[in-house]
Copies of this chain bind each other. A is one copy, B any other.
């Protein structure tokens, strides 16, 4: 159930097992991919994951609520690139956590943050822990980042690179500027960050990529995108099953 499209009576009458909250970002994704990439990808995975979960548990037996996506995240690292929006980690955590806390108020006490942005990972993990330990409600949450749950593909991640571009090609093809992909590829960095002794010295992305891209955006076609969507949504459905069954935190 897409929460924004449902009515309050729909939610009241449904048998909801778990909620997915897509969490994105509005940030540079090179010259070829839209600023909303992370949000679009998070929504696509959340909706496909909900369908997979509902299919697995049987027609009408139970439902997944998919909340509207959080559009602005922890993305100050891309501030050198026009159009990038961000909030501080403190504010991001508060906004996501409080929004999520509305759900146990209505009896929906299992929550997965379905994340599309690397810069949100740490903050969402912290939100999930705090939410789960909160003595004021019975909620339990975990944070899931789709590109960490796509098997061997994960090693190709980059930024606006093979995986993200492929997923867009499968789900939002009109938003990929194919004519700019050669340029995007040429100006791309091979790797995220500048590393010494296991530490990334570069706090901002413009220190290592001129056009914002990391990895080769031509290395992922729509077919690969569909495969990524299947892998991620299956993993998400499996995760949902596990947390619905889990008792302790």
In this complex, which of A8, A12, A95 has the most chain B Cβ atoms within 10 angstroms of its Cβ? A8
Instruction: Give bound CA distance, A31 to B236, whole Å.
Output: 31
A129 CB, min distance to chain B CBs, angstroms = 5
> Count of A residues near B, CB < 8 Å?
89
**A238 neighbours in B (Cβ, 8 Å):** 196-197
Instruction: Give bound CA distance, A91 to B235, whole Å.
Output: 32
Chain A residues 1 to 60 lying within 8 A of chain B, measured CB to CB, are 3-12, 26, 28-36, 39-40
Chain A 86-104: CB-based contact to B (< 8 A → 1; otherwise 0): 1111111011001100110
Asked if B99 and A87 sit within 8 Å, CB to CB, the answer is yes
Chain A residues 119 to 178 lying within 8 A of chain B, measured CB to CB, are 122, 125-126, 128-129, 132-133, 142-145, 148-149, 175, 177
Asked if B87 and A12 sit within 8 Å, CB to CB, the answer is no
**A91 neighbours in B (Cβ, 8 Å):** 91, 94-95, 98
A136 CB, min distance to chain B CBs, angstroms = 9
Asked if A68 and B71 sit within 8 Å, CB to CB, the answer is yes
User: Does A207 reach chain B (CB closer than 8 Å)?
Assistant: yes
A19 CB, min distance to chain B CBs, angstroms = 10
**A239 neighbours in B (Cβ, 8 Å):** 196-197, 199
Asked if B4 and A33 sit within 8 Å, CB to CB, the answer is no
Instruction: Give bound CA distance, A64 to B128, whole Å.
Output: 36
Asked if B4 and A84 sit within 8 Å, CB to CB, the answer is no
Asked if A95 and B106 sit within 8 Å, CB to CB, the answer is no
Asked if B34 and A4 sit within 8 Å, CB to CB, the answer is yes
Instruction: Give bound CA distance, A128 to B26, whole Å.
Output: 21
Instruction: Give bound CA distance, A242 to B153, whole Å.
Output: 32
Partner of A203, one of B68, B89, B129, B242: B129
User: Does A243 reach chain B (CB closer than 8 Å)?
Assistant: yes
Asked if B71 and A4 sit within 8 Å, CB to CB, the answer is yes
In this complex, which of A31, A68, A79 has the most chain B Cβ atoms within 10 angstroms of its Cβ? A68
Please give the residue numbers on chain A whose beta carbons come within 8 Å of chain B beta carbons, in ascending order: 3-12, 26, 28-36, 39-40, 65, 67-72, 76-77, 79, 81-92, 94-95, 98-99, 102-103, 105-106, 122, 125-126, 128-129, 132-133, 142-145, 148-149, 175, 177, 180, 196-204, 207, 211-212, 235-236, 238-239, 242-243, 246, 248-249
Q: Which 5 A-B pairs have the closest CB atoms?
A: A4-B36, A11-B83, A8-B28, A68-B71, A197-B235
